[in-house]
Structure 1
Amino acid sequence: MKEEIIIAGFGGQGVLSMGKILAYAGVMHNQEVSWYPSYGPEMRGGTANVTVILSERKISSPVIHEFDTAIILNQQSLDKFEEMIKSGGVLLYDPNGITHPPKRKDIIVYTIDATAQAAEMGNVKVFNMIVLGAYLKIKPVVTIDNVIEALRKSLPERAHKLIPDNERAIVRGMELVHRTTRNECGCE
């Protein structure tokens, strides 16, 4: 098993944190892991992305140009990374802020309305965990238990009181993820 993922959006959406938590969970799942962040100098509000590789074998390079999965959180990232998804790969996106939906017909497309759900839950900070839950429903590459343990390791102790909210957000994302229909994306 080898999963090559790009997570991309605006700084402040929890893109890098989502990748870091996924990477930690992979380590706890006894996988080889690469976490390779990239962000503009403006950070919050600028573009940010992170490449995560989870593998049963050694990873030769953290730099990749094609992805098994793209998790996209804004239009600029969709424009930039849609063509870099491997044929047959997965695109997961939050439709909030997407003005031109995906065009590819050789990939499987899912949506998660994480923005609206985070607002409904009364905590916009769980947005990225809703998205992560959706991804884990599509591709259960790590367990929720490992993700929760990764949260404990990556969050400062003063934030541990937020772990139950994050766990609820992950479960909610798993419940709400939606595969687009053939008419929407041309997929199977």
Structure 2
Amino acid sequence: MTEEIIIAGFGGQGVLSMGKILAYSGVMQDQEVTWFPSYGPEMRGGTANVSVIISDERISSPILHEFDTAIILNQQSLDKFEEQVKPGGVLLYDPNGIVHPPTRKDINIYKVEGARLAAEMGNPKTFNMIVMGAYLKVKPIFGMEKVKKGLEKSLPERHHKLIPLNLEAIEVGQKNMETVHTV
């Protein structure tokens, strides 16, 4: 099993954190992992993306041009990465701020209203975990125990008190993921 993922959005949306948690979850599952971030100098508000590869085999390069899954959090990223999803792959997006939704018919498209759900939870910082929960519903590559260990490993110890809230947000995302189109 090899899963090649791109997560893209604005800086401050938790793009890099989501990638790091997925990467650590893979490590906790004894898999080979790469985590390759890319962001502009402006950080918050600028575009950010991270590619994550999780595999049972050695990974030859962290650089990708096509993805099994694209997790998209803004229109700029949708415009840039929609065409780079492999046919039959997955595109998961948050419709908040998306003016032109995905149009491809040869990929599986899902959405989750992460921004709205995070606001309803009373904590906008849970946004990325809601989106990650939707992803794990579509592609259950890790059990929740591995995700919890990934959270413990990626969060500084002073933030471990937030792990239950993050796990709750993941469950909210799993319950609220919507199918838009499947092939």
Do both proteins adopt the same fold according to a TM-score greater than 0.5, normalized to the shorter chain? yes
Q: Please give the alpha-carbon distance, in whole angstroms, between the structure 1 residues aligned to 2:153 and 2:29.
A: 14
User: What is the distance in 1 between the residues matched to 2:63 and 2:119?
Assistant: 35
1:108 shift after superposition: 0.6
Q: Which contiguous aligned blocks of 4+ residues in structure 1 show a shift greater than 4 angstroms?
A: none
Partner of 1:43: 43
Give the counterpart letter for 2:22 in structure 1.
L
Q: Which amino acid in 2 is paired with 1:131?
A: V
The 5 A counterparts of 1:123-162 are 123-162=123-162
1:14 aligns with 2:14: yes
Q: Please give the alpha-carbon distance, in whole angstroms, between the structure 2 residues aligned to 1:69 and 1:88.
A: 10
Equivalence map 1:98-137=2 (5 Å): 98-137=98-137
Q: Letter of the aligned partner of 1:138 in structure 2? A: V
The Cα shift of 1:142 comes to 1.4
Aligned to 1:184: none
Q: Secondary structure at the match of 1:64?
A: coil
Distance 1:104 1:141 in 2: 24
Aligned residues: 183
Quote how far apart the aligned CAs of 1:61 are: 0.3
Q: CA deviation at 1:103?
A: 1.4
How high is the sequence identity, in percent, across the aligned residues?
Answer: 69
What is the rounded CA distance, in whole Å, between the counterparts of 1:101 and 1:132 in structure 2?
19
d(CA) in 2 for partners of 1:153, 1:23: 10
Could you tell me which amino acid in structure 2 is paired with residue 69 of structure 1? T
Query: Aligned letter for 2:17?
Result: S
Measured against aligned partners, the alpha-carbon deviations of 1:41-91 in whole angstroms (never above 9, x if no partner) come to 100100000000000000000001000000000000000000000001000
- Residue in 2 aligned with 1:85? 85
Partner residue in 1 for 2:65? 65
| SS of residue in 1 equivalent to 2:63 | coil
Deviation digits for residues 6-27 of structure 1 (CA, Å, limit 9, x no counterpart): 0000000000000000000000
Give the alignment's Cα RMSD to 1 decimal: 0.7
Task: Return 5+ residue gaps in structure 1 as ranges.
Answer: 182-186
1:3 match: 3
| Corresponding residue of 2:163 | 163
Normalised by the length of structure 2, the TM-score is 0.98
In the TM superposition, what is the alpha-carbon distance from 1:144 to its structure 2 partner?
1.3
The answer to whether 1:75 aligns with 2:75 is: yes
Counterpart AA for 1:57: E
Unaligned segments of structure 2, at least 5 residues: none
Secondary structure, counterpart of 1:42 in structure 2: coil
Find the residue that maps to 2:99 and give its secondary structure: coil
Instruction: Kindly provide the amino acid, as one letter, of the partner of residue 44 in structure 1.
Output: R
- Which one is further off, 120-129 or 144-153? 144-153
In the TM superposition, residue 175 of structure 1 has moved relative to its aligned partner by: 0.5
